[in-house]
Amino acid sequence: MQDEKLPGGISFVAEGEGIREYRLANNLKALLVENRVAPVATVCVLYKVGSRNEAVGYTGSTHLLEHMMFKGTPTFNKDRNTQIAATLQKIGADFNATTWYDRTNYFETVPSDQLELAVRLEADRMRNSFIADADRQSEMTVVRNELERGQNEPTMVLDEAVYATAFREHPYHHPTIGWRADVENVPTARLKAFYDTFYHPNNATVIVVGDFERAATLELINENFGAFPATEEAIPEVYTDEPQQQGERRLTIRRAGELALVQIAFHTPAVLGQLNVLSNAELAARAADPPAENDIYPLVVLSALLSNGVTSRLYQALVETELAVSVTSNCDQFRDPGLFNVYATVNPGVAPSAVEAAILKELERVGAEDLPGAEVEKAKQQIIAQVAYNRDGTSEIASQMSEAEAVADWRFYKDYAANIARVAVSDVQRVALRYLTEDNRTVGYFIPKASAADDADADNAGANGSNGD
Amino acid sequence: MAAGCEFFFKFDCKMGVKEMVKREGAGDEATAGGSVTPQELGQQPLAGHGEKSSDAVAANTPAGASRSNFAARIARTELPTGAALLVLENRATPTISLRGSLRAGSYFEARDKPGLARLTADMLERGTQRRTKFQLAGDLEAVGAQIEFSADPFAVEIAGRALAKDLSLLLGTLAEQLREPAFPADELEKLKQQAIAAVQEQQANTRVRAYEKLSQVIYDPANPFYVHGGEQLIKSLNSITVEDVRRFYEERYGGRSLVLSVVGDVQAAAVQRLFAEAFGDFGGPRAGVEISVADPEPQAGARREIVLLKEKANVDVMLGTAAPLRRDARDYYAATLANGALGESTLSSRLGLQVRDREGLTYGIGSRFRAPTLAAGPWYIAVSVNPGNVEKAISSALAVLRDYVTNGITADELADEKSSAIGSFKVSLSTNAGLAEALWNAEFFNLGTDYLDRFPELIQAVTLGEANAAIRKYFRPDHLTVIIAGDYQSTPAGANLSA
């Protein structure tokens, strides 16, 4: 398998469970997965630039730039009747692009006889996008409306405020969509500079999953992406660590709405278990040889046993008791240290403080009392089944690989279920005790203004640092 | 949470595949396109990155001998009761997807009991004569399996998934829930309070409120697409008793209208045997399953309503009408292609090109036939917009629509819409979940097991003349109801409507 004949300049790097990693001469990483279940293929290009690479004045730029990447190139544009979206739409592609803290990705699932078009288009916009000022002006208001839609949702408003409070220094402080004034005023030149800094083959991974012939596809990738040189300068690094939180932080948002919300967040490690920001080289080294102990996996199991399904602890303690309408939890799996969050929608007539107390009691019980092995086993089985569901289709596989590449590398994806399976009861208890502490937490309330009874309760919470608007 | 941003929000589903998915209630645009991230759904830990080490990611076995012919691979059986099963073996992953329905949706509930069909469907998960809700959930959760019920205007929809090894657990549990529900009183009380809270929460959602109002303006309360207002719905939910639920179940649930599709790493014969064991003597229902709706005449003249919701940064606008298009209409494909060129894509359809791409007025604009099903649902244009741009967006959308109606679709546009529909249909059939949905859809609408193979021909057969006739028939810019939901103060009535 590994002495295959490769197009000039491409080298084979590694292989695992059908995922094959190659490197072009310009240092572009290519990951190929042949999957002939259906006559389709997914192409995904991941750029290692996200809102973590932004600062005040140009928050939201990564995302705005992502929008500009649909505005055209000399080859694909409206004047030539080859607008990027129309070109993809007319072949029936399922396509989109997304921006998040750690990455930006562009992807399309196409009938497999259209794979060449997809690769050609993605390579073209890596370096040839217009990024014109007139386009920026009309697209800014599109993005601003996207921001406004988000501001309509109480859950997003509260989440944004909690992240901005829990992260004081690290750029996870600001939302990926950006602060409104930055979105409105960022100059086109700044976006162009962003493009010219980060959109290069040596800062990207191309993922192809589906029904294709490997040698021909490598040739196709080489022809189209191989033309661009690697940057001479190194890609700029992020180095702003979040200092350890020393004491609980609280915030309240009061706004028109119907139901109150409670969100409780705790700082956690990054996805490879580290507690600080790593350079690109350090991250690559750690991903290739991950530490034996990584608290992320027990935290993910902890989240599942707390809130996944009717039998979960928080469902039983909050929904069954009719304190909350719904409750969920989530452990961030980010490139840099993130948060473990619990979210609850408060039942009408219940004080948010009662919901907060019930959540904290359940979190405390995990470490303080006996934790039945069957409960941990159930949570692990749920995650492992989900991993299998997430392989239903080329698009899903490419998406999962892309997320893994953004925060570690594809091995994180490959070994995920095995790492979850290894989690012991004692690991879950250990991480609960270590991270779910008072000094490490941020508590946020969303209080619907109409509800006067709840206002009194929120005042007792001693709000500070509210900044959701 | 802490969700990322997407380039665009997928406004509509592709035709023929997801017509019936999650159409229940109002405002399902929030999830309709499948573009909401798992994080937004609060499922990130489970939808997280991962890969089961014992199974390769790669799969090199084609799903069948001939990938181009589905009909030969679909095993369809029907029980003497009338219940139908469709199975497609697909060994891509060690999982199974299940879709299904019974005709026991809100159409069948008494007019003064809105919400009864939905509560009855939700109660199926809340305890059987053999197991409590906690036990039922525990047995499924222990192996990561899921079964969900929801009610739409006509059907109770069933969605399930499991690892392939748990097929009999999945089907056995489904049968127990459908056939032996216990309807415990305490669970009904809890469910009612949860449902009421959910209704209250939705009352603050601009998109939900816009659709709710649109449906109320264009439909009579007796129409299955009429959405009851929050207050009325809450009152009704409060009044529903265990006896109401039990009676509705006994009259409306039965094997006659049961449709189930199962796709995944299974043996068709094994699924058929389990299905016959589980549902062979599931008779009934006592009452009929026939559906007879008089589709309303489309409105004459323009109307406008504002739903005021304070402190909302974004306004949701809908311009719609009752559209006399059913799933079995002769011009169904012509109408959906005609709509496609107008508003399928917020990026490249006519509305999106003008209102989003050129004018930058919105993050999302599109048009859709919401539910061409056993009865005709509404057609509307929906656009989200800053409060200051409401009138501009409405004028701009109407201008696009007028031009489209006056000048018609071009041959190039129609050709592009056809290749788009055919290509995306192919893409949608690349997953177990997509296949299960398509099989169920074909059976529910009586399209035949060869529908998946015939779809490209059906699309190709549409002529330019048929598409233009559909445009003139369904899109009537001077006879629309405009709903504006958000923090928006009234302007002189009818402003811009006749511009």
User: What's the rounded Cα separation, in Å, for the pair B315 and B303?
Assistant: 18
Whether B363 and A143 lie within 8 Å, measured CB to CB: yes
Minimum CA–CA partner of A255 in chain B: B311
Query: Are A444 and A165 a contacting pair, CB within 8 Å?
Result: yes
pLDDT level of residue A157 (50, 70, 90 thresholds): very high
State residue B68's pLDDT score. Answer: 60
User: What's the rounded Cα separation, in Å, for the pair A207 and B170?
Assistant: 35
Distance from CA of A232 to the nearest CA of B (A): 30
Label the pairing between strands A204-210 and A29-34: parallel
State residue B15's pLDDT score. Answer: 28
What residues in A contact B205, CB-CB < 8 Å? 152
Within 13 A of A176's CA, how many CA atoms are on the CB side? 23
What 3-state class would DSSP assign to A22?
A: strand
Whether B311 and chain A come into contact, CB under 8 Å, resolves to yes
Q: CB within 8 A of A213, min separation 6: which ones?
A: none
pLDDT tens, N- to C-terminus, chain B (499 residues): 456 777 776 543 322 222 222 222 223 332 222 222 223 222 332 223 332 333 457 776 554 434 568 999 999 999 999 999 999 999 888 999 999 999 999 999 998 999 999 999 999 999 999 999 999 999 999 999 999 999 999 999 999 999 999 999 999 999 999 999 999 999 999 999 999 999 999 999 999 999 999 999 999 999 999 999 999 999 999 999 999 999 999 999 999 999 999 999 999 999 999 999 999 999 999 898 999 999 998 889 999 999 999 999 999 999 999 999 999 999 999 999 999 999 999 999 999 999 999 999 999 999 999 988 999 999 999 999 999 999 999 999 999 999 999 999 999 999 999 999 999 999 999 999 999 999 999 999 999 999 999 999 999 999 999 999 999 999 999 999 999 999 998 654 444 443 3
Whether A385 and B35 lie within 8 Å, measured CB to CB: no
Whether B201 and A258 lie within 8 Å, measured CB to CB: yes
pTM: 0.90
Model ipTM over 0.85: yes
Say which amino acid occupies B17: V
Q: Which of residues 292-331 of A touch B (CB under 8 A)?
A: 300, 303-304, 308-312, 319-320, 322, 325, 328-331
Q: How do residues A274-312 score in pLDDT, each as one tens digit?
A: 999 999 999 999 999 999 999 999 999 999 999 999 999
User: What's the rounded Cα separation, in Å, for the pair A391 and A389?
Assistant: 5
What residues in B contact A146, CB-CB < 8 Å? 5, 9, 363
Axis-axis angle for helices B268-279, B167-179 (nearest 10): 20
What residues in A contact B48, CB-CB < 8 Å? 300, 333, 383, 386, 403, 416
Q: CB within 8 A of A99, min separation 6: which ones?
A: A50, A51, A62, A63, A66, A176, B4, B5
Whether B385 and chain A come into contact, CB under 8 Å, resolves to yes
Distance from CA of B491 to the nearest CA of A (A): 21
- Of A150, A204, A189, the C-alpha closest to A68 is A189
Q: Which of residues 406-435 of B touch A (CB under 8 A)?
A: 416-417, 419-434
* Burial class for B400, CB neighbours closer than 10 Å (0-12, 13-18, 19+): buried
What 3-state class would DSSP assign to B164?
A: helix
Distance from CA of B259 to the nearest CA of A (A): 23
Chosen for mutation from A389, A397, A469 (greatest number of chain B CBs closer than 10 Å) is: A389
- Of B2, B5, B12, B6, the C-alpha closest to B351 is B12
Whether B142 and A378 lie within 8 Å, measured CB to CB: yes
User: What's the rounded Cα separation, in Å, for the pair B155 and A119?
Assistant: 42
Whether A417 and B52 lie within 8 Å, measured CB to CB: yes
Lookup result for tokens 């006592």:
B286
State residue B67's pLDDT score. Answer: 53
Question: Which tokens in the block code for residue B281?
Answer: 């003597």
Q: Which of residues 80-99 of A touch B (CB under 8 A)?
A: 83, 85-86, 89-94, 96-99
Query: Are B360 and A142 a contacting pair, CB within 8 Å?
Result: yes
Query: Are A32 and A390 a contacting pair, CB within 8 Å?
Result: no
H/E element holding A266?
strand A261-267
Q: How many CB atoms lie within 10 A of CB A424?
A: 12
- Of B262, B261, B274, B263, the C-alpha closest to B91 is B263
Say which amino acid occupies A347: N
In order of their start, the domains of chain A are 11-225 (3.30.830.10), 249-460 (3.30.830.10)
User: What's the rounded Cα separation, in Å, for the pair B224 and B292?
Assistant: 10
What residues in A contact B46, CB-CB < 8 Å? 304, 308, 382-383, 386
Whether B50 and A385 lie within 8 Å, measured CB to CB: no
Minimum CA–CA partner of B138 in chain A: A311
H/E element holding A396?
helix A394-407
Minimum CA–CA partner of A42 in chain B: B427
User: What's the rounded Cα separation, in Å, for the pair B7 and A94?
Assistant: 13
What residues in A contact B342, CB-CB < 8 Å? none
* Burial class for B448, CB neighbours closer than 10 Å (0-12, 13-18, 19+): middle
What 3-state class would DSSP assign to A331?
A: strand
CATH number, span B55-279: 3.30.830.10
Distance from CA of B295 to the nearest CA of A (A): 32
Minimum CA–CA partner of B203 in chain A: A258
User: What's the rounded Cα separation, in Å, for the pair A422 and A418?
Assistant: 6
What 3-state class would DSSP assign to A227?
A: coil
Cis check for the bond before B285: say yes or no (omega within 30 of 0).
yes
Question: Which tokens in the block code for residue A91?
Answer: 């072949």
Query: Are A171 and A51 a contacting pair, CB within 8 Å?
Result: yes
Query: Are B220 and B226 a contacting pair, CB within 8 Å?
Result: yes
User: If you count residue pairs, one on A and one on B, with CB atoms under 8 Å apart, how many are there?
Assistant: 346
State the DSSP code for B318. E
Task: Assign domain B303-486 to its CATH architecture.
Answer: 2-Layer Sandwich (3.30)
Whether A274 and chain B come into contact, CB under 8 Å, resolves to no
Whether B311 and A255 lie within 8 Å, measured CB to CB: yes
- Residue range(s) in chain B whose domain bears CATH number 3.30.830.10: 55-279, 303-486
Whether A34 and chain B come into contact, CB under 8 Å, resolves to yes
User: What's the rounded Cα separation, in Å, for the pair A32 and A24?
Assistant: 13
Q: CB within 8 A of A66, min separation 6: which ones?
A: A97, A98, A99, A104, A106, B5, B7
Query: Are B199 and B230 a contacting pair, CB within 8 Å?
Result: yes
Whether B430 and A393 lie within 8 Å, measured CB to CB: yes
Whether B65 and chain A come into contact, CB under 8 Å, resolves to no
Whether B90 and A347 lie within 8 Å, measured CB to CB: no
Whether B423 and A114 lie within 8 Å, measured CB to CB: yes
